[in-house]
Structure 1
Amino acid sequence: MADVIVVGSGGGGTVVSKELAGRGLDVLVLEGGPFYRDPETQWSRYENDCNNPADGYFRFGAADRFEHPPWFRELPQYSFVFQLAGTGGTTQHYFGNSPRAMPGVFSDYTGADSDAYDVAHRFPLGYRELIPYYEWVEATLPVQTAAVGTKEAVFFRGCERLGLPVNATKDILRDSFRPQENAILQPGGTAGRTDDDARLRYPEATGCTFCGYCFQGCLEPRRAPRNLKAKRQADNSYLPMMLTADLWAPGGRRVTLVPNAFVTQVLTEQQGGSTVARGVRWRDTQTGEQHEETASVVVLSAGCTENPRLWLNSGLPDPNDWVGRGYTDHAIDWVIGVFDEYTGNSRGPSSAARADYPGRGSIQQSGLPPALQALAMGLSASGVRGDYDNGRGFTGSWDGKSGRVMGAELKDVLSDVDNLLSILVLTDDDVEPDNRVIRSAFPPDENGPIPKVEFEYRDRTARTQRNREFLCDQAARIARAAGATRVLRIDFPSVPLHVHSTMRMGTDPADSVLKDNAEARWVDRLFVADNSALANSLGGPNPTLTTQALATRTAENIVTTYFGGDRWVRTESPVSSLDDRVTRGVLGGALE
């Protein structure tokens, strides 16, 4: 019997496991996908080999990718959910972007622009309370100001010409631009100074080698120890710490990691009129054998689609019908600037520059290698540019109407991927109950009844749609100001990249699943520690850092509530960037 069972080894599961093991608890981590022990031999840089949803090594499916189909979900037409199975989870796809959430999404915010946010779904804790946990994760990964190159300089040039100010803090306090705060190690030695692959090996090269393949999981620098790979995806950072907690923490315990272990049921019992989690049932995806494990606490970190599926398949209580609701994803879109000059679009950290607009969302430069760049331009809810527009065809500061880039135009635009500036739009998306996960009417797969994702653009609120149009226009204006000769708006369809909030914590028991300590409202000793616990879409910033800060806080809550331990993260932070000067000068006392 373990002290704690953690379901999933992604961006949240590895964090909560590392922190719990470091405090002397026995932790069992069950991961449905494979254990990627040696990426240099298991992975490649071929975009289809990595990302193909049917047989790519980053698909959502069993380890034997050429023998069995991916695990099935029922999805809306023309949709796809970017979720991975395997150690590290979907952080293998992320660009390392680690901005903090906007202060306006927290319960202590009273600024003049307070009503610009999703006021009905704020976090049930204050921004100031979360800052020490942000700092803990920022120091652990570590998070650093991104190394920048040509594409970032082009983006900054456009921002400066539009008169946007620079943000010199980690906190998003006003419309501004800045280099990303990235969980990517800074280049050292020959990294970033040569294209000679033979000289980009550890220890001659350290940190980011500017390869440009962030979406394919980080192999760089070659021959580096796993914990010194450049991008701090969970399997390069928290997972090694999780597995060696007995070595780095006095009294720490080694975590037991079981890959290819798909959890199919949360086991509960009744104690004094309460439903209490007591363990899980899981299936070995290689042999089909069924197993049961017991523990004092269970933590769900299987993702925003699988957590609701597991809850519903386990028959757990859902009296307010909010399990699976609030499937929120930043209503993403792409704006592409075409230049007559070299931009280095495919080189270096994929995304190292951003602009933020409190109450509306964020935009970020997001360079891609050729096949993924073509994919980003080839998916649209508006149809084909200049041919048909599906009744949408938005117009703005871009050229013509929005739509997918196809045929001769795609060939022309992609004649040189390094003459583009690719900008990703991340909207402050309202939490909408009709965007949700339910059980599908399709036959079960080997792991039980499958999830159905009900998620359509028609369910976006008017505020979300206004935010999206504003941000797309800003992105187009930045590209134009930077010198783009053409600017294209894609109108990306429902392909969620940043999914949040399907098991959300909240201030109101009527529309939330978790209490403010991330414990389930109706099942004692059951916690959630991944993106699904987020109360809202954070104002637009990328979710991983906030998820990891909350997972650290959740680990503390587990230790103090059920194992008699003390808190270890300072609640009063001496290094917070929300100092008196910034609070008076920018926020005007909004957080006082």
Structure 2
Amino acid sequence: MRDVIVIGAGGGGPVVAKELAAKGLDVLLLEAGPRYAHPRKEWTHYENDANNPLTGFLRFGPGDRSKPAWFRETSQNSFLWQLSGVGGTTQHYYGNYPRAYPGVFQGYGGADKAAYDTEHVFPFSYNEMIPYFEWVEATAPVQTAAMGTKEEVYFRGCETLGVPVQKTKDAHGFGYRPQENAILQPGGNAGKTNKTDLLVYPKATGCTFCGFCFQGCMQPVNAPRNQIAKRSTDNSYVPMALTADVWAKGGKPVTLMTDAFVNQVHYEEKNGVTTATGVTWRDNATGDLHREDAKVVVMSGGCTENPRLWLNSNLPNPNDWVGRGYTDHFFDWVVGLMDDYTGNSKGVGSSARCDFPGHGGLENVGLPPALEAFTLMLSDSGVRGGYDNGRGKTGSWDGPTGRPVGKELMEIMSHGIDRLLNVLVITDDDVEAQNRVVRSALPADANGPIAKVEFHGRQRTARTLANREFMANKAVQLLRGAGAKKVIRIDWAPLILHVQSSMRMGTSDTNSVLDANGEARFVKRLFIADNSALSNGLGGPNPTLSNQALSTRTAEKIFKTYFGGDPWVSKEAPVVSTDNRISIRLQQLGL
């Protein structure tokens, strides 16, 4: 019997696995998708090869790319951009690590308290969360993002918004700042040249400014895996988990199984208490089923697959909140056409932000050509100047909302990708019970009934809708201030990237799945550690840091509750994921 089984090696699972392995527990980490152990040999920078949702190497599907991707049913025009494989969706994220806003935690007494979703707060204080933020920030490590021309132009626009420079990691008011980013700062030749012979480790370290963050990071050339620039968990927490015997006194390496799709969580009933006992997983290559038992099971399969697995396992759901509260950030996209060079396609994907706690945030996002074209086409408002699907709006931007076509699209593309400036609108959304994951009535796949996402993405609360309009108009103001000669608002259809809270932790057993320790209210020894455990939309910030900080806290609770150990975050100094001991052991292991 294992001590702990962790289901899923995305943003949260490897955190729990690494922390508990460092304490000497026997941890099995199961991942449904593949592990790309040598990305420079297995990946390319070709955008379709990477990002095609059916055939790309960054998709939700098995390791064998000749086999079809796994399917989810959606009930509206939306795109669930979630990945399988070691690293999960962090493989293509931009490494942004802002802290959640204080107003989403229990006990917040700020003057702007009413600006938040006060019905669905974290069941502990912001101050209690800070040591876990700090632990993850040191481990990853999180640093002030490397910046270039596009950030300089973006900040020029921020200066016209009438808000100050934010000088702390804790966002207590409106302000703009560089991103707190889990991408290693450029060193040596990195960021100074595009000559490939000079961008080889150790001549170059950290971010090489290649501009291909979304295709998975494999820079610099020849860098050890834990020295690759972008700190997705396949480059940070997973290498630490696999080498815990080297850097942690008494540590034990995690056992990692990939292409291992868990389709059943086992449990037993004794004296009216339901207790998790283990899992069954399916080998994607052979179809063989394997049973593993453990003292504790941790679900880290993500906001869509965790509810599916729970429901397929017939685990108890007495308050009907499993899968409910499926919350995003109601993104929108605003683009400015500039007269001068912006460097939109160069460097770190997103290195500058502007925070409006209680409303959301604005991020500069740089993109390569195909993804830039994708962002211009993802509209709920139809065609600008043509049809508007009943959603078309006019405002401080130029013309109606919608996607540009014809001469206007030609104008944008001929203008040049490196004279565009993009602003991603990130809205703080309310947790809404009608947005949920259920089992689809469509035919099951090899792993059981598939997930149906009932996401009423256009039917938002009045607060959420007001937040989006507030933030979109701030984005337009920013771009005008930066010098944009034309500003286009796309009115994005729901793009499910920052999804969270479908298995939420809460203050009440009437509207949450997890208690304050991250343990399932109705199944003992079953924990959840990923975005689905988050209590709410965080006030608007990107969810990865909050996910990993909460997962660290959950690991401590597991260790104390079921293995008799003491908490460590407030007592020990974290080991940084770029530790040379880890590099050496990975090389010894051929990784």
TM-score range normalised by the length of the shorter chain: over 0.9
2:441 aligned residue: 441
* Cα contact 1:455–1:494 (8 A) shared by 2: no
Q: Are positions 1:456 and 2:456 aligned together? A: yes
The one-letter code of the counterpart of 1:506 is: G
Q: Are positions 1:422 and 2:417 aligned together? A: no
Report the Cα distance in structure 1 between the residues aligned to 2:536 and 2:572, rounded to whole angstroms.
25
1:368 aligned residue: 367
Report the Cα distance in structure 2 between the residues aligned to 1:76 and 1:419, rounded to whole angstroms.
37
Identity %: 64
* Cα contact 2:44–2:50 (8 A) shared by 1: yes
The one-letter code of the counterpart of 2:209 is: F
2:181 aligned residue: 182
1:564 aligned residue: 564
1:44 aligned residue: 44
Report the Cα distance in structure 2 between the residues aligned to 1:531 and 1:537, rounded to whole angstroms.
10
Q: Are positions 1:56 and 2:56 aligned together? A: yes
- Report the secondary structure of 1:457's partner residue: coil
* Cα contact 1:335–1:424 (8 A) shared by 2: yes
- Report the secondary structure of 2:275's partner residue: strand
2:482 aligned residue: 482
The one-letter code of the counterpart of 1:438 is: V
* Cα contact 1:432–1:459 (8 A) shared by 2: no
Report the Cα distance in structure 2 between the residues aligned to 1:262 and 1:245, rounded to whole angstroms.
25
Structure-1-length-normalised TM-score? 0.96
Deviation at 1:400, TM superposition (A): 0.9
Q: Are positions 1:352 and 2:355 aligned together? A: no
Report the Cα distance in structure 2 between the residues aligned to 1:572 and 1:169, rounded to whole angstroms.
23
The one-letter code of the counterpart of 2:464 is: T
Q: CA RMSD for the aligned pairs? A: 1.1
Q: Are positions 1:71 and 2:70 aligned together? A: yes
2:431 aligned residue: 431
* Cα contact 2:434–2:456 (8 A) shared by 1: no
The one-letter code of the counterpart of 1:446 is: A
2:528 aligned residue: 528
* Cα contact 2:163–2:174 (8 A) shared by 1: yes
Deviation at 1:571, TM superposition (A): 7.9
Q: Mark the CA change 1:44 to 1:398 in structure 2 (over 3 Å): closer, same or farther.
A: same
2:224 aligned residue: 225
Deviation at 1:414, TM superposition (A): 2.0
Deviation at 1:532, TM superposition (A): 0.1
- Report the secondary structure of 1:161's partner residue: coil
Deviations 1:201-240 (CA, angstroms, capped at 9, x unpaired): 1111000000111111101111100000000000000010
- Report the secondary structure of 2:296's partner residue: strand
Deviations 1:417-436 (CA, angstroms, capped at 9, x unpaired): 00011110110000011111
Q: Which runs of 5+ in 2 are unaligned?
A: 574-591
Q: Which runs of 5+ in 1 are unaligned?
A: 574-592
* Cα contact 2:337–2:484 (8 A) shared by 1: yes
2:580 aligned residue: none
Report the Cα distance in structure 2 between the residues aligned to 1:411 and 1:214, rounded to whole angstroms.
26
* Cα contact 1:435–1:459 (8 A) shared by 2: no
Q: Mark the CA change 1:571 to 1:454 in structure 2 (over 3 Å): closer, same or farther.
A: farther
Report the Cα distance in structure 2 between the residues aligned to 1:442 and 1:303, rounded to whole angstroms.
21
Report the Cα distance in structure 1 between the residues aligned to 2:396 and 2:224, rounded to whole angstroms.
47
The one-letter code of the counterpart of 1:491 is: D
Deviations 1:398-426 (CA, angstroms, capped at 9, x unpaired): 11111012233222212210001111011
Runs of 4+ aligned residues of structure 1 deviating over 6 Å after TM superposition are: none
Q: Are positions 1:169 and 2:168 aligned together? A: yes
Q: Are positions 1:215 and 2:214 aligned together? A: yes
2:25 aligned residue: 25
Structure-2-length-normalised TM-score? 0.96
What does 1:106-145 align with in structure 2 at a 5 Å threshold?
A: 106-145=105-144
2:275 aligned residue: 276
* Cα contact 1:75–1:452 (8 A) shared by 2: yes
Q: Mark the CA change 1:572 to 1:86 in structure 2 (over 3 Å): closer, same or farther.
A: closer
Report the Cα distance in structure 2 between the residues aligned to 1:413 and 1:159, rounded to whole angstroms.
23
Report the Cα distance in structure 1 between the residues aligned to 2:217 and 2:281, rounded to whole angstroms.
30
Report the Cα distance in structure 2 between the residues aligned to 1:213 and 1:558, rounded to whole angstroms.
38
Q: Mark the CA change 1:488 to 1:330 in structure 2 (over 3 Å): closer, same or farther.
A: same
Report the Cα distance in structure 1 between the residues aligned to 2:464 and 2:396, rounded to whole angstroms.
19
- Report the secondary structure of 2:334's partner residue: strand
Q: Are positions 1:253 and 2:252 aligned together? A: yes
Report the Cα distance in structure 2 between the residues aligned to 1:462 and 1:365, rounded to whole angstroms.
26
What does 1:535-550 align with in structure 2 at a 5 Å threshold?
A: 535-550=535-550
Report the Cα distance in structure 1 between the residues aligned to 2:97 and 2:357, rounded to whole angstroms.
17
Deviations 1:153-173 (CA, angstroms, capped at 9, x unpaired): 111001112222000000111
1:195 aligned residue: 194
The one-letter code of the counterpart of 1:58 is: L
Report the Cα distance in structure 2 between the residues aligned to 1:408 and 1:190, rounded to whole angstroms.
41
Report the Cα distance in structure 2 between the residues aligned to 1:495 and 1:154, rounded to whole angstroms.
26
Deviations 1:98-119 (CA, angstroms, capped at 9, x unpaired): 0000000000201111011000
- Report the secondary structure of 2:321's partner residue: coil
Report the Cα distance in structure 2 between the residues aligned to 1:530 and 1:457, rounded to whole angstroms.
22
Q: Are positions 1:243 and 2:242 aligned together? A: yes
Deviation at 1:270, TM superposition (A): 1.3
Report the Cα distance in structure 2 between the residues aligned to 1:392 and 1:43, rounded to whole angstroms.
39
Q: Are positions 1:471 and 2:476 aligned together? A: no
Report the Cα distance in structure 1 between the residues aligned to 2:552 and 2:70, rounded to whole angstroms.
30
- Report the secondary structure of 1:523's partner residue: coil
2:148 aligned residue: 149
Deviations 1:320-362 (CA, angstroms, capped at 9, x unpaired): 1000001111001100011010000111000000000011001
Report the Cα distance in structure 2 between the residues aligned to 1:408 and 1:234, rounded to whole angstroms.
43
- Report the secondary structure of 2:123's partner residue: coil
1:297 aligned residue: 296
Deviations 1:531-573 (CA, angstroms, capped at 9, x unpaired): 0000000000000000000000000000000000010011899
Report the Cα distance in structure 2 between the residues aligned to 1:317 and 1:55, rounded to whole angstroms.
36
1:397 aligned residue: 396
The one-letter code of the counterpart of 1:92 is: Q
Report the Cα distance in structure 1 between the residues aligned to 2:93 and 2:64, rounded to whole angstroms.
23
2:514 aligned residue: 514
The one-letter code of the counterpart of 2:327 is: T
Deviation at 1:195, TM superposition (A): 1.2
2:582 aligned residue: none
* Cα contact 2:7–2:31 (8 A) shared by 1: yes
1:34 aligned residue: 34
* Cα contact 2:76–2:456 (8 A) shared by 1: no
- Report the secondary structure of 2:130's partner residue: helix
The one-letter code of the counterpart of 1:450 is: I
Q: Mark the CA change 1:571 to 1:324 in structure 2 (over 3 Å): closer, same or farther.
A: farther
Report the Cα distance in structure 2 between the residues aligned to 1:405 and 1:202, rounded to whole angstroms.
42
Q: Are positions 1:99 and 2:98 aligned together? A: yes
Q: Are positions 1:491 and 2:491 aligned together? A: yes
Bigger shift: residues 398-407 or 284-293: 398-407
1:581 aligned residue: none
1:587 aligned residue: none
Deviation at 1:397, TM superposition (A): 1.6
- Report the secondary structure of 1:262's partner residue: strand
Q: Are positions 1:380 and 2:376 aligned together? A: no
What does 1:290-329 align with in structure 2 at a 5 Å threshold?
A: 290-329=289-328
Report the Cα distance in structure 2 between the residues aligned to 1:463 and 1:77, rounded to whole angstroms.
22
Report the Cα distance in structure 2 between the residues aligned to 1:344 and 1:356, rounded to whole angstroms.
23
* Cα contact 2:217–2:228 (8 A) shared by 1: yes
Q: Mark the CA change 1:571 to 1:486 in structure 2 (over 3 Å): closer, same or farther.
A: farther
2:205 aligned residue: 206
Bigger shift: residues 155-164 or 546-555: 155-164
